[in-house]
Chain A
Amino acid sequence: MSQSETPLRTRWYTKLFGPGAASGRALVIFAPVAWLTVFFVVPLAVVFGISLAIKEFGRPPYSDLLTVGEGGTVQLTLHLSNYLRIITDPLYVTAYLSSIRIAAISTIVALLIGYPMAYFIARARDPWRNVLLMLVILPFWTSFLLRVYALSGFMRGNGVINGLLGIFGIEPIQMMQTDFAVYVGIVYTYLPFMVLPLFTTLVKLDVSLLEASADLGAKPWQTFWSITLPLSLPGIAAGSMLVFIPAIGEFVIPSLLGGPSTLMIGRVLWDEFFSNTNWPRASAVAVAMLLIVVVPIMLMQRAQDAVVEGRTR
């Protein structure tokens, strides 16, 4: 759509929402902006504020940032001790790094399992394609928590996997309460998020390119390496983000499947808040965690905007 057409195309909206009738338009914008400002943006600012307080006994259990002294003087007290502690205490540093490691490894494993699945579904014939796609989406609609629980029953010491191993005379393996269980848990629960974007890019892939490549004498793996894989990079990127970002902050999986030595930043935040009731420290951990996710978030946002904007033009 060219620039000159824009006024004509949006004419009726201009009637209601244009300069002459700004109220209707303002109302439509105002409601979501107000809600998201009050309940999404302001809370993040509050977290940042409280991360600069220290734990105190009382309700609420943190020190006041602003205190009114004698004669009405307002005093601002900021503490950097929480951030200092996060940087110097190995607990937080380890949790931070192992969250990134666990999320990254799980993402790669999910990609390795999800790619062939997405490829197979994209190449399947019509009724089958829909059935397989539905089978991928189905677990996503069932409860996340119950799927993690199902997995724990599967991997338990006297669970199904060890039962099967026992048939072949293999000793039971300790899987639960290890980092391995956390990897499996993340891959298991987030696999649909990897498969769906991969499927979307692979199904749009022009088959004639693959045929041309084969006609020119390329071996299947060469075709895959030089055509299919590069063309599916947007799907790989989207799927990886959708697994990596939530995995970093994951709480349920490390707490139900991992052992006491499985440190993840989401679990540390939870314990800081619920077990130690140290709200300022938990807030500082949240701010630190935001730093890891903010870059991928911005990349996601830009990619999403590009897709939506591209379609309207």
Chain B
Amino acid sequence: MRRNWLILSLTVFGFAFLYGPILSLIIFSFNDNRLVTVWSGFSTRWYAELFADTQILDAAWLSFWIAVASASIALVLGTLCSVALVRFRRFRGRTALAGMASAPLVMPDVITGLSLLLLFVSMESLIGWPAGRGVGTIIIAHTTFCIAYITVVVRSRLSDLDLSLEEAAMDLGATPVRVFFDITLPIISPALVSGWLLAFTLSLDDLVIASFVSGPGSSTLPMVIYSKIRLGVSPDVNALATIIIAIVTVGVLAATLLQMRRSARKSS
């Protein structure tokens, strides 16, 4: 029984390690004192300051739309990529596509960012496009790594899928395109949703790649946060973090409850 106590205490330590810093950040976001670690009374002034800070709000809005655009373009391309990899068993370049679709997952951010920037600069001097860098180049860069993540999620769902449903629809005379939209797509839609959300989150979170490929006037939220943190303590970042954590917690809780209810219904 001693072993169980050991595992239990190590697990408790692990969770304390994961959540300690986050909890202290949330608590101190309600601290009246500018010194982040000296408690001097409850206050919501940092939230007020956050909502008056147009730089942060503009950056958040920009990041949101970049994430929506990148995740959506990547969803289409990643789904096509998964269909090609799972359904077309043999074609020339299949290994190359599989490699291209998974290598961005493990490519260090600094290399992805640098290589895309150098590409954009070379293209601009060769063909004049893209003229300068900004939102467009960030969306291209984010789409590229999001394709890889979406492909992982959708590909594994698609390869679990029972082919007989699609075949039955074919036998009943549906065209392949119709089968894809009426049968395949609805069945893999949970994977599409989670793939899109994953891509959205990763795009929203990216600092390094965006720093390389952004231009003047297109600072994303992580870029603004990073420069604020570098300058020193800023309590309004605590307030922002608390808001983000609250949104994510509600979302993940809802998703988990939904999933638990669905699996409970299945087993009953």
Binding site for B on A (CB under 8 A): 6, 9-13, 15-17, 24-25, 28-29, 31-33, 35-37, 39-44, 46-47, 50, 60, 113-114, 116-117, 119-121, 127, 130-132, 134-139, 141-147, 149-154, 156, 158-160, 163, 188, 191, 195, 220-221, 241, 245-246, 248-252, 256, 266, 269-270, 273-274, 279, 282-283, 286, 289-290, 293, 296-297, 300-301, 304-305, 308, 311-312
- The answer to whether B118 has its CB under 8 Å from any CB of chain A is yes
Given A43-B116, A246-B109, list of 13 further CB < 8 A pairs? A6-B89, A10-B87, A29-B97, A39-B140, A39-B141, A46-B118, A50-B118, A114-B14, A135-B18, A137-B252, A142-B22, A149-B241, A293-B108
Binding site for A on B (CB under 8 A): 3, 6-8, 10-11, 13-15, 17-22, 24-25, 28, 35-38, 76-78, 80-81, 83-84, 86-89, 91, 93, 96-111, 114-116, 118-119, 121-122, 125, 140-141, 143-144, 147, 152, 155-156, 159-160, 163, 166-167, 170, 175-177, 179, 201, 204-205, 207-208, 211-212, 222, 225-226, 229-230, 233, 237-238, 240-241, 244-245, 248-249, 251-253, 256, 259-260
Say whether, besides A31-B80, A113-B10, A150-B241, A145 and B25 are in contact (CB < 8 Å): no
24 contacts between A and B (CB under 8 A): A24-B176, A25-B91, A32-B77, A32-B97, A32-B101, A35-B143, A43-B118, A46-B118, A116-B6, A116-B10, A130-B256, A131-B256, A138-B249, A141-B251, A141-B252, A142-B22, A146-B237, A153-B21, A160-B20, A286-B114, A297-B103, A297-B106, A301-B99, A311-B160
Chain A residues near B121 (CB, 8 Å)? Answer: 60
How far, in angstroms, from A134 to B255 measured CA to CA in the complex? Answer: 10
Chain A residues near B38 (CB, 8 Å)? Answer: 158
| B6 to chain A: closest residue by CB | A116
Choose among A29, A132, A158, A160 the residue with the greatest number of B CB atoms under 10 Å from its CB: A29
Question: Are A188 and B111 neighbours in the complex by a CB distance under 8 Å?
Answer: no
How far, in angstroms, from A29 to B107 measured CA to CA in the complex? Answer: 23
Minimum-distance CB pairs A-B, first 3? A249-B108, A43-B115, A12-B170
| A296 to chain B: closest residue by CB | B106
| B228 to chain A: closest residue by CB | A149
| A51 to chain B: closest residue by CB | B118
| B83 to chain A: closest residue by CB | A28
- Main secondary structure on B side of the interface with A: helix
Say whether, besides A13-B88, A300-B106, A145 and B11 are in contact (CB < 8 Å): no
CB < 8 Å A-B pair total: 277
Question: Are B144 and A35 neighbours in the complex by a CB distance under 8 Å?
Answer: yes
Chain A residues near B115 (CB, 8 Å)? Answer: 43-44, 46-47, 286
Question: Are B10 and A117 neighbours in the complex by a CB distance under 8 Å?
Answer: yes
Chain B residues near A158 (CB, 8 Å)? Answer: 35, 37-38
| A24 to chain B: closest residue by CB | B176
Chain A residues near B179 (CB, 8 Å)? Answer: 12
| A26 to chain B: closest residue by CB | B91
